[in-house]
Each structure stands twice: as C-alpha cells, then as structure tokens.
Chains A and B, each alone.
Chain A
Amino acid sequence: MVRRTLCACLSMALWSVSLLAQPGQEGFAPVTGAPASEQIPAAPLVISSYAFFLVLLFVYLWTIWRRIGKVEADMRNLERRQSDGGQRR
C-alpha cells in the first residue's frame, strides 16, 4: 500500500514538472520595440561624433600653426646668419 502511494505521488510529481517546464528555445527570436532600458542611448554617440570632429580639427590646426612657426623661426635664424656673415666680410 505504501509502495503504491509513493509510486502515485512520484508519478504526479513528474507529471506536474513536465507541465510546469517551459518549452525549449529553438534559437534567437527578433523582437520589435525593445524596452528603453535595453536600448543603446543615441545622444552620447552623436555628441562624441561632433566633439571628436572639433578636437581633430583644432589639433590639426595647431600642428599646422606649430609647423609654420618652426619654419618661420628657422628662416629668421638663417637670415640673421646671412646678415652677420655679410657684415664680417
């Protein structure tokens, strides 16, 4: 009697487990309208894009300005050396 009762309880338990179990997922399924918490925010990407352009532009302008300044300084030194040489002669 006890054995029959245990078998019945076990069968019921196994049956209920199979009822409660969710069907297995066959693969990824697309969803439309994901919740806001799952979406990538666009504002930082847009701001980063425009900020990067401004930084790149100003760095490039600074390098041009620095290179022109260096060449002009070299030219001034050279002209000074030329004029010093001319005076000694």
Chain B
Amino acid sequence: MKKAFVPLVVLAAAIFAYAPVAINRAELESTMLLVQKIFYFHFATWMALTAAIAVCGVASVIYLFKGSPIADWYGVASAELVVIFGVFGLFSGSLWGRKAWGVWWQWDPRVTMATMLVLVFLGYLMVRKYGGPGSEKLAAAMGIFGAATAPFVYKSTDWWRNIHPPTSVVKTLGDKFPAAWDLVLYCSGAFLLLVVLLLAARVRLEALRAELDRLYLALED
C-alpha cells in the first residue's frame, strides 16, 4: 500500500477534479432540474459510508473475539470515516430537501435513522477518546451494533414509506436515465477510492501511536 499510496492520491485528485465538470455537463432531471445534481455526491457519500461501516463492523468483530490490535486500528479509523461521510450525507440531503421538499429538515424515517446511525459512530469515537482503559472493547461492541443498524437504515424507505424516495429509484436509474447512472458509478468509485486512501492514512496514524506507546514503555523499563 505504501508504494501505491502516492499514485492513488494523484489518481483520486484527478478523478475529483473532473467530477464537477462531468456533473455540470450532465443532463438535467425532468422534475427537480438543477438541484438533482446534488444526488451524485449525495449517493456516493452514502456508498462510502456503507463501505466504512462494513470495515468497522468486521474489524470490531475481529478485535472483540481475536484481540488483534490491527483490527482495532481499522475499527477506529473507519468509525471516523463513517462520521465524516455521514455528516456530509446529512448536510447535502438537507440542502437538496430545501429545494425538493421545501424544508431544511424532515423527520422522515430514512433521515432520522441515518442521523441515529451517525450518532452511534460518534458515540464510538467518544467512548474511545474519553472511556479510559478498556474502552476499545466497549467501542468495538458499539461498532458491531452500529454496523447491524445499517441494513435497517437502507430498507427504511421501503418499509416505512414517507417523503424520502424508495431504494427502487436507484435500482431503475440505469434503465430510465443511463447518463446519470454512469455518473453515479463514477462518483461512487471516486468516493470508494477516497475511503481506501483516508483509511490507509488514518490506520498509519494508529500504527504510529502504537509505536509511540511501545517506545514509552521501553523507556520506562
């Protein structure tokens, strides 16, 4: 990963530099017109968040049952990414809702559950920061339950119909609006690459912290 990191950063920068150009050139959607263009980053950020949740869930399980410190590094790094992408997802959704729904915020099941999900992972980070010794295991349990919540958030629009569009909108996008679907894939790929890079940088920070702790212990001995 060390050798590939810099080329991947350059690639991600190029992809993200071109993304606004491609989004600007994309056709307008018939009912929502310009504001629908928020969708491309809005959807991609939730894809990135889902990937980060999956990493956090798996890492938390491994850490809780095997005690692997590397799994713990991945757990805390991905939990931070869940919060970052969650905040952007909620913010971009709010801006879109202002135009499409006429309100900044709506207590729709999907929106409410997504907020709860982000709060669970914010709780994870707070437990890690202020929980003291042994908080890693408690946080890992929170990570598992946070990850278990994600499928409910995804299906919430189908089970409890409200103002947020159902999941079928994205499933049928390829047939109804192929150009938009290509752009959705492009942006989702860009965000997934970003997750990989941020995760690598953040895990390196945890590895350095572990090395620092080891040096402190060696000095005390």
Q: A residues within 8 Å of B by Cβ?
A: 40, 42-43, 45-46, 48-50, 52-53, 56-57, 60-61, 64, 67-68, 71-72, 74-75, 78-79, 81-82, 85
**For the complex, is B58 an interface residue (Cβ under 8 Å from A)?**
no
A–B pairs, 5, beta carbons within 8 Å: A45-B38, A46-B37, A79-B215, A81-B219, A85-B219
Given A64-B202, A71-B205, also A50-B41 (CB < 8 A): yes
Contact indicator B205/A49 (Cβ below 8 Å): no
Contact indicator A72/B92 (Cβ below 8 Å): no
CB nearest neighbor in A for B84: A60
Neighbouring A residues of B91 by C-beta, 8 Å: 49, 52
Given A75-B212, A78-B215, A78-B219, also A53-B92 (CB < 8 A): yes
Neighbouring B residues of A64 by C-beta, 8 Å: 198, 201-202, 205
Neighbouring B residues of A50 by C-beta, 8 Å: 20, 41
CB nearest neighbor in B for A71: B208
Cα–Cα, bound, A5→B90 (Å): 72
Per-position contact with A for B195-212: 1 when CB-CB < 8 Å, else 0? 000100110110011011
**For the complex, is B176 an interface residue (Cβ under 8 Å from A)?**
no
Neighbouring B residues of A74 by C-beta, 8 Å: 212
Q: Which 10 A-B pairs have the closest CB atoms?
A: A42-B34, A42-B35, A45-B95, A71-B208, A49-B92, A49-B38, A78-B215, A49-B95, A64-B201, A68-B205
Contact indicator A68/B208 (Cβ below 8 Å): yes
Contact indicator B212/A56 (Cβ below 8 Å): no
Interface of chain B residues 162 through 183 with chain A (CB within 8 A): none
Contact indicator A78/B88 (Cβ below 8 Å): no
Instruction: Name B99's contact: one of A42, A52, A71, A72 (CB within 8 Å).
Output: A42
Tell me the minimal C-beta distance from A24 to chain B in angstroms: 26
Neighbouring A residues of B209 by C-beta, 8 Å: 71
Neighbouring A residues of B4 by C-beta, 8 Å: none
Instruction: Name A49's contact: one of B96, B198, B208 (CB within 8 Å).
Output: B96
Cα–Cα, bound, A66→B95 (Å): 31
